[in-house]
Amino acid sequence: MPHVYVVGVGMTKIGRHFDKGLVELAAEAYEKAVEDAGIEPAGIVVSNMMASSLQGQDSLGALIASSLGLRYRPALHVEAACGSGGAAVYTAYSLVASGLLPSVMVIGVEKMTDYPTAIVTEALAQAADADYEVFYGASFAALNALMMRYYMERYGVSRDEMSEWPVMMHENALKNPYAQLHKKITRRMVAESQPVADPIRLLDSSPIGDGAAAVILASGEEARKTHWGATVEVTGLGLAVDTVELSNREALDRIPALERAAEQAYQMAGVTPREIDVAEIHDAFTITAVLSIEALGLAGRGEAAKLLARGRFHPGDRPTLNPSGGLKARGHPVGATGVYQVAEITMQLRGDYPGVRVDNPRHGLASNIGGDGSTTTVVILSRRM
């Protein structure tokens, strides 16, 4: 396999950007990443879920590339619901590794605010199965609530234990200048927050926000022309899909596809879960984080929430999980999330991450999920210099 490096990253703060549309958000991340790398990309892959539903706009590859001055270059748009970012990184890797393009920027962008909540909820439900779930009235939160209740019952996990995840996320996000939420919370506040779909509470849920993140992938030869050179390499990649509808899965208390994506990525990178120093995982809801930790082999089955409640995976521990604050508090501009994760892990490995920093990490991991486990991706990055 040829070597592919992450040579530049850029992010916008996540939040309500009343004054910015998709193109303006993408442009901010683009310019930061180009400045960080010192090169313009030969092509782009846009990661976005909701523009078709919310902005009535298709052809985002062409729209964003041409708006950024990349007219006539190759541009693609990849969609896998909330897992679009990881899928786009997988695509960009292949464009570089194949020799088709010397460098590719992945731009994840999503504009979710300025719309009534019911419209956004309906657009998010397109990540579930239209015929077998949404038609029957299931919201996306309701489907995740089934998984959370089943997990808690099966493994005897308490509400209080589950609540540690959002508490840690809000704590970590306090130091992240790009995070949407900067507010300390307690386990009690989580348990007493508004029910969304029982047992999921408001503070178990990631917020709605606008944002864009960009990463530039480059071949070894092209990387030598950049500021960061061959500092951070993409060493492992995994992508595995499952049924969109929950009822046909192998299990409700696991994310089986993510287990496969993780296997692929660990094998390609030649590392084990124990060697991961820092990870950004997908926590659309608290249960998504808990099941991801187990699918990634970082905890045994039924153990993740209990370990978290006892202080495991917090800053200072290895691996540290979601030093950014995760989807819960950094924010979750859906199509951009997987790209934020890769940008954050890249900065952790370079040592210039502006938030909670992991000391001298060698291997980092990003895992992104579309729907409640239908598209799953794992990216492993390793420090090379």
- # chain residues binding a second copy, by CB under 8 A: 65
184: which 2 tokens?
A: 């300390």
Span near a second copy by CB under 8 A; candidates 59-67, 179-187, 201-209, 339-347:
59-67
Residue 71 near a second copy by CB under 8 A: yes
Give the phi and the psi of residue 300 in degrees, each rounded to 5.
-75, 170
- The one among 49, 216, 279, 289 contacting a second copy by CB under 8 A: 49
Residue 256 near a second copy by CB under 8 A: yes
Residue 325 near a second copy by CB under 8 A: no
Whether the ω angle into residue 74 lies within 30 degrees of 0, i.e. cis, is no
Residue 19 near a second copy by CB under 8 A: no
Cα–Cα distance measured from residue 367 to residue 280, given in angstroms and rounded to the nearest whole number: 6
Specify whether the CB–CB gap between 385 and 369 falls below 8 A. Answer: no
Residue 57 near a second copy by CB under 8 A: yes
- The one among 17, 32, 77, 111 contacting a second copy by CB under 8 A: 77
Residue type, 42: A
Residue 3 near a second copy by CB under 8 A: no
Residue 341 near a second copy by CB under 8 A: no
For the CB of residue 303, give the shortest distance to a second copy in the complex, in Å. 24
Closer CB to a second copy, 9 or 80, in the complex = 80
Residue 131 near a second copy by CB under 8 A: yes
Q: Which residues bind a second copy (CB under 8 A)?
A: 1-2, 21, 43, 49, 52-53, 55-63, 65-67, 70-81, 83, 87, 90-91, 93-100, 125-127, 129-131, 134, 237, 239-244, 248, 256-257, 260, 370-371, 374-375
